[in-house]
C-alpha cells in the first residue's frame, strides 16, 4: 500500500461518514433530553431536497444552507409540538414524520430531479463535524445547559421540581436534532452526491439512530462509531476492488459483524450501558 492510496481511502471514508456524524450527534442530544425522534430519515430527505431546490433557484450555497436548516427547524417544531404539547406517542409520531418527509421531499423535488448542479466542497462541513462533536461533548458535560439537558432526560419530574422548564428544554433539543438531520441532508444532496433523487438518503437516518445506541449516548463514542461504520463499508469496497478472494457474503456481512462485535464488547459492561441510557427516554412528560 502506498501513501497516495491510503490518503485516498481516508478521504473517501471522511466524505461518506460525515452525514452519519451530523444526524447521529443531533439525535444524541435529543435523546439525552429524553425524547426519541425516529423521524431522522424524513428530516434528512426534506433537508436534502430544500437545500438542492434552493441551490438550483438561487445558485447561492449560503441561501441553500439556510433554507435547508429552516426546513429542519419547521419540521422538528411540528414534531415537538405533537410529542410535547399533545403528548402523542414518540415512536408513532417519529415514524409518521419519516413517512411524511419521504412523501414531501418526493413531491417538492419532482420538477428538480435530474437538474445538474455544481456541488459544494465537502471539506468545510467535514471539519465542522469534528468541531461540533467537541462542542456538544463540552456543552453536555461541562456546562450548566448540558447538566439541565441531562437532568431533564434522566428524571423529568425531578428536573421540573428543581425549577427547570422541561418542555422548553426538550423543544430546543428536538429542534437541534432536526437541524442536524437537515444539515446531514444538505450535505448529501449538495456536497456528497450533488443531485436530487427521491429517497437518496437510502436509510442513513436509520443507521444514525442505531449509532446513538451503539455509542451509548456519548458524543466521542458516536464519532468513533460513525467512523467504524463508514470505515468498514469503504474497506470492504477496497478489498473487493483489490480482488481479495473471500466469499461475497462475507463482504456483505462485514459491517454487521463489526457492529455485533462492538455491541458485544460494550454490553459486557452492563453498568456502563445502564449509566448512559437516559432514564426518561421515550416517556412523555406531564405536569402534575
Partner 1 sequence: MIRKLLVILSFFSIFSLSSLSAAEKKIGFIYIGPPGDHGWTYMHDEGRKYMEDALGDSISTTYIENVPENADAVRAIRKLAQSGHDLIFTTSFNYMDQTLEVAKEFPDVKFEHATGFQRTDNVSTYSARFYEGRTVIGHLAGKMTKTNTIGYIVSFPIPEVIRGINAFYLAASKVNPDVKIKIIWNYSWYDPGKEADAANTLINQGADIIVQHTDSYAPCQAAEKAGVLAFGQASNQEAFCPNSHMTSIEDIWGPYYAARAKAVVDGTWTSQDTWQGFKEGMVEMSPYNKKLLSNDLIAEANKIEKSIEDGTLHSFEGPIYNQAGELVVAEGEVADDGMLAGMMFYVQGIDGDIPQ
- Contact residues: partner 1, CB under 8 A: 5, 8-9, 11-12, 15-16, 19, 41, 95, 98-99, 102-103, 106, 109-110, 113-114, 116, 119, 188, 192-195, 197-202, 204, 233-234, 237-238, 240-243, 245, 247-249, 251-252
Residue corresponding to grid cell 453498568 = 271
- The packing angle between helices 166-186 and 204-214, to 10°, is 130
C-alpha atoms less than 13 angstroms from C-alpha of 138 in its C-beta half-sphere: 6
* 254 vs 277 by CB, closer to partner 1: 254
- Give the Cα separation of 72 and 204 in Å (integer): 16
Shortest Å, Cβ 170 to partner 1:
25
Nearer to partner 1, 145 or 202 (CB): 202
CA 87-88-92 angle, 5° bins:
155
Rounded CA-CA distance 7/91 in Å is: 41
Residue 10 CB, nearest approach to partner 1 (Å):
10
Task: Give the cell for residue 83.
Answer: 410529542
Tell me how far apart the terminal alpha carbons of the chain are, to the nearest angstrom.
64
Name which of 37 and 137 has its Cβ closer to partner 1.
37
CB of 122 or CB of 219, closer to partner 1: 122
Instruction: Supply the minimum distance, in Å, between the C-beta of residue 80 and partner 1.
Output: 21
Smaller CB separation from partner 1, 140 or 234: 234
Nearest to partner 1 of 163, 243 (CB atom) = 243
Q: Which distant-in-sequence residues (6+ apart) come within 8 Å of 66 by Cβ?
A: none
Provide the minimum distance between the beta carbon of 285 and partner 1 in the complex, in angstroms, as a whole number: 27
**Taking a C-beta distance cutoff of 8 angstroms, is the pair 15, 126 a contact?**
yes
Q: How many CB atoms lie within 10 A of CB 238?
A: 15
Shortest gap between Cβ of 201 and partner 1 (angstroms)? 8
Report the nearest approach of partner 1 to the CB of residue 240 (Å): 5
Amino acid at each position: 500500500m502506498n501513501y497516495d492510496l491510503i490518503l485516498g481511502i481516508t478521504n473517501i471514508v471522511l466524505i461518506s461518514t460525515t452525514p452519519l456524524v451530523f444526524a447521529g450527534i443531533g439525535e444524541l442530544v435529543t435523546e439525552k433530553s429524553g425524547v426519541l425522534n425516529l423521524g431522522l430519515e424524513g428530516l434528512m430527505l426534506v433537508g436534502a431536497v430544500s437545500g438542492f431546490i434552493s441551490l438550483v433557484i438561487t445558485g447561492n450555497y449560503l441561501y441553500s444552507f439556510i433554507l435547508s436548516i429552516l426546513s429542519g427547524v419547521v419540521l422538528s417544531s411540528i414534531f415537538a409540538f405533537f410529542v410535547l404539547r399533545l403528548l402523542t406517542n414518540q415512536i408513532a409520531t417519529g415514524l409518521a414524520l419519516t413517512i411524511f418527509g419521504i412523501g414531501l421531499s418526493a413531491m417538492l423535488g419532482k420538477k428538480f430531479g435530474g437538474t445538474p448542479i455544481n456541488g459544494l466542497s465537502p471539506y468545510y462541513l467535514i471539519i465542522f463535524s469534528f468541531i461540533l462533536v467537541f462542542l456538544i461533548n463540552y456543552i453536555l458535560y461541562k456546562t450548566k445547559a448540558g447538566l439541565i439537558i441531562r437532568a431533564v432526560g434522566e428524571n423529568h419530574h425531578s428536573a421540573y421540581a428543581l425549577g427547570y422548564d422541561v418542555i422548553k428544554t426538550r423543544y430546543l433539543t428536538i429542534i437541534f436534532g432536526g437541524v442536524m438531520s437537515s444539515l446531514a441532508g444538505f450535505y448529501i444532496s449538495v456536497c456528497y452526491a450533488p443531485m436530487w433523487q427521491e429517497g437518496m438518503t437510502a436509510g442513513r437516518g436509520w443507521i444514525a439512530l442505531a449509532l446513538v445506541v451503539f455509542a451509548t449516548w456519548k458524543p466521542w463514542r458516536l464519532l468513533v462509531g460513525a467512523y467504524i461504520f463508514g470505515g468498514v463499508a469503504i474497506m470492504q469496497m477496497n478489498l473487493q476492488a483489490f480482488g481479495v478472494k473471500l466469499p461475497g457474503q462475507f463482504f456483505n456481512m462485514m459491517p454487521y459483524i463489526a457492529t455485533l462485535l462492538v455491541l458485544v464488547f460494550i454490553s459486557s459492561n452492563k453498568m456502563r450501558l445502564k449509566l448512559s441510557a437516559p432514564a426518561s427516554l421515550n416517556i412523555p412528560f406531564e405536569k402534575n
